Amino acid sequence: MGYMSKVLLSAASGAAMLLGGQLAPVQAQDGKDANFVPLFTYRTGPFSGSGIPIANGMRDYLEMLNQRDGGIGGAKIVIEECETGYDTKKGLECYEAVKGRNPVMVNPWSTGITLPLIPRAAVDKIPVLSMAYGLSASADGQTFPWIFNPPNTYWDGLSVIIKHIADELGGLDKLKGKKIGYIYLDAGFGKEPIPMFEQFAKDLGFELKLYPVAATDMQNQSSQWLGVRRDKPDYMVMYGWGALNPTAIKEAARINYPMNRFISIWWPSEDDARSAGPGAKGFRELNWHGVGTDFPVLKDIQKHVVDKGLSKVAKGKEGEVLYNRGVYNSMLIAEGIRNAQKLTGKKAVTGEDVRRGLEAINLTPERLKELGMEGFTDPLKLSCADHNGHGAAFVQEWDGQKYVKVGGPIKPMEDKVGPVAAAAAKDYVEKNAGWPKRTEACDSK
Amino acid sequence: MLYRETGQFRTSYKADMAVFPIRQDRIGLAIILLLAFVATPLFGGGFLLSAVMIPLLVFALAALGLNLLTGYTGQLSLGTAGFMGVGAYACYKLTTFFPEVNLIVWILASGFFSAAVGVLFGLPSLRIKGFYLAVATLAAQFFLQWCFIRIPWLYNNNVSGAIEAPVRTLFGMPITGPHATPELRYLVVLSIVALLTWIASNLVHGRVGRSWMAVRDMDIAAELMGIRLLPTKLLAFAVSSFYCGVAGALMVFLWYGSAEPEVFSISQSFLILFMVIIGGLGSLIGSFFGAALIYGLPIVLKSLFPMLGLSVGAATIEHITFMVVGAMIIGFLIVEPHGLASIWRTIKQKLRVWPFPY
């Protein structure tokens, strides 16, 4: 026991010293201009299946800019990953660790981590980019000047799915008398679209069946699918995450549910569909960017990063849905920094500059071509009022090997989504008494 | 050397039964309190306070609460996170209903709601023991988490389904919300934790604590000696849940800032149970040791590799943390099943007789 206690004592004193040492801000650069982009990633834990491709995509795009162009506008990008494990407390620890080191923005990649950061962003002057997740109401730039969630919200996604179903049936009025099932993660994310779904059901005259899946039961959905079998909905809509997605696809295949009537929001990956075997063929989901590597930007990543052995991505996994989503996310980061540099004339920018830069994002077709993303995604324009863009999404179908696009881009139903989003933003402000009015000046017209 | 009690005579029964009978212990405690209350907020810096000290104190308080139940009374509970959640949601409801009342009042009051729920789920403890009781408290965990998800009234119908800490002030300075300084938040957490630890110390050293330990060691013998089992066990459940509830409220209001129901999941319960086991069952200081080790070790490991100049991926460090913590749990169970607190006692005993080994 004497030895044990000695070891412990020395470990404790070592720990105390280390904690003291960690507080000094790390300056990774050799005096040159640089922009610090922390990436909150999760390569471990129950959600790592989704987290790893996203992390790889985000990192590889930024690394490609460093390798090909020497960074952005002559300033290197200092990339640093912080492992959150999709756990709020670790995410907050990551945030505390980076916030003193002038990060240009944070990408929490978890709604649970995004929510506590929303009030802090304005105070710490660090913009939050929660790409198509987080608080949907934060699309309102007048209320949330520091939060960005392009290119669509979950409400936009729902309206696109409804439109897609209507298109297949031959018009919105054809939805009357139909039955639509909704299987979702029983948490904030899955419950958010329900009021709007119910409104749609009332307006369009279809019947809505709810199949909630508790987070603890993601891998056991037999009772929900028993319900589906009994109710026989004409269409199934899914808002899932993590293990919920592959399990649902498997269960749907098992009960022979017609897969091309099973439509998910944009999170299922190739692996989720693949694991269900050939029965998953025809499974549909929304997306807003290309899959595969047939884009100049992906070729550049392969050439400058993957082939040089600088990436962690497994061979052949680049170009998958979630990898490309990471690439898209990093493209927004890079555009934000680039715009900030243009607006301020500085090379090394701050969070405040990048907030302005993100509001100035204007991905015209020409700009997308310059970025090597022609045909990869649709144009997107953000403004001071609109931090989302409410861009179009398209439907893609699993053909057994890969996702293929079916049909063209579908715009969200602005008239239905707009009021809901505005009401939610208002509700947030009311419940958080003393929420600051926007004082940040507006650059773009 | 310094730690020697020669010449310290205890002339009264009271002095002999004091919590800290040795003068050096009292001095040590004063130094620790001074460091915690003065030096840490003065020289700590934002990261140390917000990301290390506040979480550590919150976990220590929760571990202390569980320790009162599991370590002192011998009732195994897996519902810790659920009881923490009750505290957090109660505090949220109270402070949104009555915003003018000071938040600290509500943080302490929310503990009573948690205590009431704890008593309710403690009722089966008279009939069932050990693993069966663990399963019953597991039901509490799942039921409570289900409530946090399914009862919109609890989170004021927020679209996000999460509770968000509104801005509240203390002496005109914000203690919650984005403008609250880490120093003030830390001091509030530390004061509450110190106060509750002091109360717990008095409880376990008094009649109540003795009856808890009697029940733990052999309930039939305790009953024969005139301890009524049901009130004793229920009191343990109530006090333990009170501590957990306050810890939950502190967690959401002074640390996270907002919380989804997922925060109060079963994994949180297990985390706190591990803290209690590693720290030492039936020891107050063990709760602090356990929290420091389980919560602090990953942070230390994270900074260890860059300090050594090794470039290790963020995920690799996480994997190493898992392995080290896992190995430590097994190691402790083999080498020192009574946890860090027992090692601490051994060190103290050795120091008292140093340099003569007994």
pLDDT in tens, B197-231: 999 999 999 999 999 999 999 999 999 999 999 99
- pLDDT one-digit tens code per residue, B239-260: 999 999 999 999 999 999 999 8
**Residue A13 confidence class, pLDDT cut points 50, 70, 90:** very low
> Cα distance from B150 to chain A (closest Cα, Å)?
8
For residues A298-304, average pLDDT? 95
Over 70: is that where the pLDDT of A21 sits?
no
CA–CA gap between residue B164 and residue A293 (Å, rounded): 42
Q: What is the pLDDT of residue A444?
A: 62
CB A155 within 8 A of CB A163: no
Residues of A in Cβ contact (< 8 Å) with B159? 135-137, 188, 192, 424, 427-428
**Residue B358 confidence class, pLDDT cut points 50, 70, 90:** low
Q: Which residue's entry shows tokens 């077709």?
A: A365
Class of the A154-287+395-414 domain? alpha beta
Which of B48, B56, B160 to mutate to test binding with chain A, by most A CBs within 10 Å of its CB? B160
For residues B95-104, average pLDDT? 93
Over 50: is that where the pLDDT of A353 sits?
yes
The answer to which of A148-162, A189-203, A389-403, B324-338 has the lowest mean pLDDT is B324-338
Higher pLDDT, A434 or A157: A157
Residues of chain A with CATH 3.40.50.2300: 34-152+291-383, 154-287+395-414
Which of A9, A17, A23 to mutate to test binding with chain B, by most B CBs within 10 Å of its CB? A23
Cβ of B319 within 8 Å of Cβ of A89? The answer is no
Q: What is the pLDDT of residue A217?
A: 84
Chain B residue with the nearest C-alpha to that of A118: B178
Q: What is the pLDDT of residue A10?
A: 44
ipTM summary value: 0.88
Residues of A in Cβ contact (< 8 Å) with B261? 187
> Cα distance from A420 to chain B (closest Cα, Å)?
11
**Residue B1 confidence class, pLDDT cut points 50, 70, 90:** low
Cβ of B162 within 8 Å of Cβ of A115? The answer is yes
CA–CA gap between residue A177 and residue B235 (Å, rounded): 57
Nearest to A103 by CA among A82, A125, A120: A125
Q: What is the pLDDT of residue B23?
A: 86
For residues B171-185, average pLDDT? 90
> Cα distance from A19 to chain B (closest Cα, Å)?
7
Q: For residue B246, what are the domain limits?
A: 47-353
Q: What is the pLDDT of residue A14?
A: 43
- pLDDT one-digit tens code per residue, B298-347: 888 888 887 887 777 778 888 888 888 888 888 888 888 888 999 998 88
Cβ of B51 within 8 Å of Cβ of A93? The answer is yes
In chain B, the percentage of residues whose pLDDT exceeds 70 is 99
Nearest to A293 by CA among A80, A68, A64: A64
Q: What is the pLDDT of residue B232?
A: 95
Which amino acid type is present at position B94?
L
Q: What is the pLDDT of residue B239?
A: 97
Chain A residue with the nearest C-alpha to that of B306: A22
- pLDDT one-digit tens code per residue, A38-88: 999 999 888 888 899 999 999 999 999 999 999 999 999 999 999 998 888
Q: In CATH, what number is assigned to the domain containing residue B336?
A: 1.10.3470
Is residue B282 included in any domain, yes or no? yes
- pLDDT one-digit tens code per residue, A227-269: 999 999 999 999 998 889 999 999 999 999 999 999 999 999 9
**Residue A24 confidence class, pLDDT cut points 50, 70, 90:** very low
Q: State whether residue B51 sits within 8 Å of chain A by CB.
A: yes
Is residue B79 included in any domain, yes or no? yes
For residues A198-211, average pLDDT? 93
C-alpha dihedral sign at B253, B255, B261, B264: negative
DSSP string, A43-111: -SSTTHHHHHHHHHHHHHHHHHHHHHHSSBTTBEEEEEEEE-TT-HHHHHHHHHHHHTT-BS-B---SH
CA–CA gap between residue A87 and residue B263 (Å, rounded): 8
What superfamily in CATH does domain A34-152+291-383 come from? Answer: Response regulator (3.40.50.2300)
CA–CA gap between residue A255 and residue A229 (Å, rounded): 7
Q: What is the pLDDT of residue A9?
A: 43
Over 60: is that where the pLDDT of A143 sits?
yes
* Structural domains of chain B, count: 1
CA distance from start to end of chain B = 16
Q: How far is CA A323 from CA A112, B175, B269, in A?
A: 22, 41, 34
CA–CA gap between residue B180 and residue B62 (Å, rounded): 23
Strand segments (E) across B65-220: 163-164, 169-170, 173-174
